[in-house]
Chain A
Amino acid sequence: DVQLLDSGGGLVQPGGSLRLSCVVSGFNFSTSGMTWVRQAPGKGLDWVSSISDSGAYTSHAGSVRGRFSISRDNSRDTLYLQMNSVTADDTAVYYCARGARGHPNDYWGQGTLVTVSS
């Protein structure tokens, strides 16, 4: 079975940092592009970042560029999202999903909640 396990969310103060992780199993992680998508409370889905299978190519939404960084460790089947200088607008459930660069997001993690508040 395909599984994506998001973790690392929690309460963080404005201006603080957090690192999200997504451990995958059930498919070949090293040949799959990956994506982070977030959903603010009661709102729709917003693309955050994507990374190619090798990690050589990354892209970020304008709202997080320069503050968030997507990365991966193919030896550990793990995707990361480093979140720095967070603001209240970053409060959301963050989902990792398989698929990037011309591929649909076909498998999703269960989501991890990030709350930015003092």
Chain B
Amino acid sequence: NVLTQSPGTLSLSPGERATLSCRASQTVTSSYLAWFQQKPGQAPRLLIYGASNRATGIPDRFSGSGSGTDFTLTINRLEPEDFALYYCQQYATSPRTFGQGTKVEF
């Protein structure tokens, strides 16, 4: 199941809203879709699972939505620490696959 993220890069300023898209080539069953944040030199960090559930400790400015083949990660009121790479992943079927990533830059 190929995941395509758009845009490749999002240029925004602190305080603005970021909207990231993840489109799957096949339906993601049970909405087993996750979003990760990755900063340089660090491991990925789980933000959202089950398409819309925030992981432990994730601020409520991060929200996920969607179902089927179209999913969205929204970051309200960008904070300086939110500028990073974001990946979506489907874990419904094997092989679990990742999108190619969206860079949110200032």
Kindly state the separation between the CA atoms of A50 and B97 in the bound complex, as whole angstroms: 12
Using known A-B contacts A44-B100, A50-B96, determine if residue A104 contacts B43 with beta carbons closer than 8 Å: no
| B contact residues, total (Cβ < 8 Å) | 25
Chain B residue numbers with a CB within 8 Å of A95 are: 43-44
Is B87's CB within 8 Å of the partner chain A?
Answer: yes
| A contact residues, total (Cβ < 8 Å) | 23
Q: Quick one: CB contact mask for A80-107 with B, threshold 8 Å, 1 for yes?
A: 0000000000000001000101111111
Chain A residue numbers with a CB within 8 Å of B99 are: 44
In chain B, positions 88-106 with a C-beta closer than 8 Å to chain A are 89, 91-92, 94-101
Stretch of A8-16, A23-31, A70-78, A108-116 at the chain-chain interface: A108-116
Question: From DSSP, what is the main secondary structure of chain A's interface residues?
Answer: loop
Pairwise interchain contact A59-B95, C-beta atoms closer than 8 A: yes
Give B residues with C-beta under 8 Å from A.
Answer: 30, 32, 34, 36, 38, 43-46, 49-50, 55-56, 87, 89, 91-92, 94-101
Q: Which 10 A-B pairs have CB atoms at the shortest separation, nearest pair first? A: A104-B49, A108-B43, A45-B98, A104-B34, A106-B46, A47-B96, A59-B94, A44-B101, A44-B100, A47-B95
Give A residues with C-beta under 8 Å from B.
Answer: 35, 37, 44-47, 50, 59, 61-62, 95, 99, 101-111
